[in-house]
């Protein structure tokens, strides 16, 4: 008897499985209570569906709002890249604090250093100590020096082995370019003042001038300037 009862109980759910597994059967039964009850149920069902739709719609629009800025930013990036490649070459400017003289950007240091440290400082700024092509360039550079008492190292020193003044680009000074006041001897480096060009011990501490070619500046600086 007990075993039969248990069997019956166990099999009951199995038998009624297909009926109860259809979810519509239960509400249908309940909905048959009264027309009002049925109407109320339908209304609340409609309400729930509406609510689900509204929530879905809201979350979708929020999601699209969150995505829009990044899409916009992306298109701005593309525009900037286009601008970079098409328009940027016309905008030749020296970096901030650098002064433009013809095709060069010059940086006048505020601190003092021996010549070798000045040379090293310009390298760290992706530039070189000033090279002066001719008297015109010398005059244009000197016009930017507003204090008679201040002097600046340039990229010219004495090569003992070659017994000649040598620019840091490897060329020798041609005789008529600059008139250097002072000795041409071992450990001599060249500085300029507002009015003159002098030779001095390289270990002397002075201000200095770094230069960048403007064409190099164009390639070097344009990507940064957009950041």
Residues within the interface to ligand NAG (CB under 6 A): 74, 77-78, 81, 114-117, 120, 131-133, 157, 167-171, 187, 202, 223
Q: What DSSP string describes 142-164?
A: HTT---TT--EEEEEEEETTTTE
Q: What angle do CA 119, 173, 154 make, to 5 degrees?
A: 25
Bridge partner residues of 210 (DSSP): 107, 129
Q: Whose Cβ is closer to ligand NAG: residue 95's or residue 114's?
A: 114
Query: What's the min distance (Å) between Cβ of 104 and ligand NAG?
Result: 10
Nearer residue to ligand NAG within complex by CB, 154 or 217:
154
Least distance between ligand NAG and beta carbon 76 (Å): 8
What are the backbone angles phi and psi of residue 167, rounded to the nearest 5°?
-70, 155
Residue nearer to ligand NAG on the CB measure, 38 or 204? 204
Say how far apart CA 126 and CA 3 lie, in whole Å. Answer: 95
> In whole angstroms, how close is the CB of 206 to ligand NAG at the nearest point?
13
Query: If we measure between CA atoms, which residue out of 160, 157, 162 comes closest to residue 182?
Result: 157
What is the 3-state composition of the chain as percent helix, strand, coil, each rounded to the nearest 5? 50, 20, 30
Nearer to ligand NAG, 41 or 88 (CB): 88
In the complex, the smallest distance separating the C-beta of residue 165 from ligand NAG, rounded to whole angstroms, is 10
CB of 173 to ligand NAG, least distance (A): 8
- Closer residue to ligand NAG, CB minimum distance, 92 or 168: 168
């Amino acid at each position: 008897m007990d075993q039969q009862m248990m069997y019956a109980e166990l099999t009951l759910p199995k038998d009624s499985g297909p009926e109860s597994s259809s979810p519509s059967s239960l509400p249908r039964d309940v909905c048959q209570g009264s027309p009002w009850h049925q109407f109320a149920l339908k209304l609340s069902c409609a309400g729930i569906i509406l609510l689900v739709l509204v929530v879905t719609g809201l979350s979708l629009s929020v999601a699209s709002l969150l995505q829009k800025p990044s899409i916009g930013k992306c298109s701005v990036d593309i525009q900037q890249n286009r601008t970079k490649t098409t328009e940027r070459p016309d905008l030749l400017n020296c970096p901030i604090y650098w002064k433009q003289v013809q095709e060069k950007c010059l940086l006048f240091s505020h601190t003092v250093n021996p010549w070798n440290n000045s040379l090293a400082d310009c390298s760290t700024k992706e530039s070189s100590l000033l090279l002066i092509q001719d008297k015109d360039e010398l005059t244009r550079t000197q016009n930017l020096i507003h204090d008679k008492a201040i002097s600046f190292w340039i990229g010219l020193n004495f090569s003992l082995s070659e017994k000649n003044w040598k620019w840091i680009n490897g060329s020798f000074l041609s005789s008529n370019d600059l008139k250097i006041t002072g000795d041409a001897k071992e450990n001599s480096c060249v500085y300029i003042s507002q009015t003159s060009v002098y030779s001095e011990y390289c270990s002397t501490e002075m201000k200095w001038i770094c230069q960048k070619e403007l064409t190099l500046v164009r390639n070097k600086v344009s990507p940064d300037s957009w950041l």
